[in-house]
């Protein structure tokens, strides 16, 4: 295939089974969870247990890539002390929650994909926020109509039970090496001594459009913290956060119970339920929270790369494999078609087909049947590729039931086009033993609900549910429900080479555009032979629905926009794109990293 400078290409699937992806032996809980999920059909059919080869000693080094240099340094310090990738991830993220509160934090949640080099096994920690037990499908309905987006988004009704601290603990018990208390020391010190406000944080706080959408300067606690004296924090301001330090000290000393019970839990419940548009969270909701340990959802290409990401309610495993498989079927095959426009069209059409299916089918598979294995089945993809939409035609979901010779399943659900706001961050880590973490964490929108308690922001993840529980006479798969986890676009991804060895760790923030951002790095590296940084720097092209968003303020972007417009697509020219990709690639001579210049991150090796 011709190598193109600005267009995105994909890897096709010729097999769907997660090739040896089985139970992780660090804990009995993980083993039972993987078996239960497999029996329930949430992983590929045809999975078989195979003898794992003895792994060679890791000699490639270690690296941390994340959205702030201070967080990266915290992770590297854990690695210097002999910590694991999971130890480093906890230290990195606890700093990010302090210095990058607009994106993630203790009051949010995450998906972590973890690869254990010694056992050659991969697992997913699902720390997604959960709807309170009293939540009903009409959670966001009022007088028969859905609440307006901003009214729902900036409200107590939007707060899900946070999963981040429980994810810290569950993952640490599985594969942490350092003492639990050690992991929080860098963040505690920064919170007590103060951290310099970064340009991005200062810019967001001063942005009049954001200030008009959120409530940071209207609510007493967040206003005092972010707008002292009525003015937004300026670049370089030394911002201390003693409440955050106290919260982390309690968690370090007492474990997750310090967060999910007692004073902090009560403060969360009070903030949610006393809001102007109150939620319905209880202390029991917090104390009952648990992390789900799931098998990764992987797609194989014969004799090539295996791509693994998080299963539903994450979109990662489904969408990354769908886009790649569809692109392989849609890419030009004749010399006349092999133009830059032809390759670009294939990528856009693969995205449109994938997003339509994701929006219709993906939800919390613990509550609704999600046809994950069918959506990435090559037989379905061959049928779906023939349904590629004309540039000016409306997108629609396919029906894997019909395509695979079974009963229709599309009519089970009403159409859904839930928005996913871009308040998220991504961390990629490889440690000195070859273990890897890909973790995407979030509070949903920028600064979540604007509700601040004990030094951290509360999420508004429940607006990732469909605000309308039905469309016509049909329920929406991603409707709210008690103890249900909302669908997420987060796609933390780990790639293995044709020999089954660790090759790439990638992921991004960016709301529903995450799906497109992550696939861009996969095709850039795997198909074009790009470096991590070159792949990240490519223009972002997002084709969800009937409009194609094209990033025009980077090299190659305007050319792509013009080409798509000529082909008849409805093009939205976009600037200031919100990706935050962090990528690590295993090369023959060591690790290669890349960080998205659209944010403030870095990728640094352990030296």
170, 424, 449, 521: which is the annotated catalytic residue?
424
**Cα–Cα nearest to 372, from 325, 415, 410, 318:** 318
Give the integer Cα–Cα distance in Å for 9 and 12.
10
Q: How far is CA 56 from CA 59, 158, 212, 228, 435, in A?
A: 9, 47, 55, 55, 13
Q: What is the per-residue burial (b if ≥16 Cβ within 10 Å, else e) of 461-486?
A: bbbbbbbbbeeeeebbbbbbbebbbb
Provide DSSP, 208-257: HHHHHHS-TTTSHHHHHHHSGGGSPPPTT-EE--HHHHHHHHHHHHHTTH
Specify the 3-state DSSP secondary structure of 535. helix
**Cα–Cα nearest to 4, from 332, 349, 334, 494:** 332
Q: How far is CA 320 from CA 107, 506, 518, in A?
A: 28, 12, 8
Question: Torsions phi, psi of 339, nearest 5?
Answer: -120, 165
Contact 440, 420 (CB under 8 A): no
Specify the 3-state DSSP secondary structure of 307. strand
Give the integer Cα–Cα distance in Å for 336 and 315.
35
Q: Token pair 């693994």 is at which residue?
A: 308
Q: What is the crossing angle of helices 185-193 and 69-80, to 10°?
A: 140
Give the integer Cα–Cα distance in Å for 21 and 388.
31
**Is residue 424 among the annotated active site residues?**
yes
Catalytic residue list: 424
């Amino acid at each position: 295939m011709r190598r193109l400078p600005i267009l995105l290409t994909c890897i096709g699937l010729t097999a769907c089974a997660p090739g040896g992806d089985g139970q992780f032996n660090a804990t009995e809980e993980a083993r039972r969870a993987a078996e239960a999920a497999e029996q329930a059909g949430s992983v590929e059919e045809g999975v078989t247990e195979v003898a794992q080869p003895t792994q060679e000693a890791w000699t490639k080094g270690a690296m941390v890539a994340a959205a702030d240099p201070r967080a990266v340094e915290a992770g590297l310090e854990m690695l210097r002390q002999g910590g694991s990738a999971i130890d480093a991830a906890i230290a990195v993220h606890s700093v990010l929650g302090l210095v990058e509160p607009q994106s993630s934090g203790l009051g949010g949640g995450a998906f972590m994909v973890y690869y254990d080099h010694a056992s050659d096994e991969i697992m997913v920690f699902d720390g997604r926020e959960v709807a309170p037990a009293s939540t009903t499908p009409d959670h966001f309905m009022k007088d028969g109509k859905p609440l307006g987006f901003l009214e729902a988004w900036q409200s107590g009704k939007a707060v899900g039970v946070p999963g981040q601290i429980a994810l810290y603990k569950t993952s640490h018990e599985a594969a942490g090496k350092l003492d639990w208390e050690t992991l929080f020391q860098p963040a505690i010190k920064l919170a007590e001594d103060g951290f310099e406000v970064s340009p991005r944080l200062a810019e967001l706080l001063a942005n009049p459009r954001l200030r008009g959408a959120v409530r940071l300067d209207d609510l007493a606690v967040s206003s005092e913290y972010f707008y002292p004296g009525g003015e937004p924090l300026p670049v370089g301001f030394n911002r201390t956060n003693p409440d955050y330090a106290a919260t982390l000290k309690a968690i370090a000393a007492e474990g997750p119970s310090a967060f999910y019970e007692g004073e902090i839990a009560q403060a969360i419940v009070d903030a949610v339920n006393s809001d102007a548009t109150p939620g319905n969270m209880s202390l029991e909701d917090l104390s009952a929270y648990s992390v789900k340990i799931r098998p990764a959802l992987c797609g194989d290409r014969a004799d090539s790369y295996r791509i693994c990401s998080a299963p539903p309610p994450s979109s990662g495993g489904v969408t990354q494999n769908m886009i790649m498989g569809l692109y392989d079927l849609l890419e030009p095959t004749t010399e006349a078609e092999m133009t830059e426009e032809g390759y670009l069209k294939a990528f856009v059409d693969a995205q449109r087909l994938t997003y339509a299916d994701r929006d219709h089918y993906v939800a919390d598979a613990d509550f609704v049947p999600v046809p994950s294995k069918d959506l990435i089945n090559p037989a379905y993809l061959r049928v779906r590729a023939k349904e590629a939409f004309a540039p000016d035609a409306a997108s629609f979901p396919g029906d894997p039931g019909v395509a695979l010779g079974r009963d229709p399943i599309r009519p089970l659900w009403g159409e859904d086009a839930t928005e996913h706001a871009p308040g998220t961050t991504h961390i990629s880590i490889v440690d000195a033993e070859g273990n890897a973490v890909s973790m995407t964490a979030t509070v949903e929108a920028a600064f979540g609900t604007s509700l601040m308690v004990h030094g951290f922001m509360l999420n508004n993840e429940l607006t990732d549910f469909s605000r309308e529980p039905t469309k016509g006479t049909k329920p929406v798969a991603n409707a709210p429900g008690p103890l249900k986890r909302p669908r997420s676009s987060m796609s933390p991804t780990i790639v293995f080479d044709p020999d089954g060895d660790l090759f790439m760790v990638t992921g991004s923030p960016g709301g529903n555009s995450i799906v497109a951002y992550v696939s861009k790095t996969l095709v850039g590296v795997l198909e074009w032979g790009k470096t991590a940084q070159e792949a990240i720097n490519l223009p972002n092209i997002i084709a969800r629905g009937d409009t194609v968003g094209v990033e025009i303020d980077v090299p190659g972007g305007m050319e792509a926009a013009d080409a798509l417009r000529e082909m008849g697509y409805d093009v939205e020219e976009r600037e200031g794109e919100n990706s935050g990709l962090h990528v690590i690639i295993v090369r023959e001579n060591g690790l290669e990293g890349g960080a998205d210049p659209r944010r403030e991150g870095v990728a640094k090796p352990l030296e």
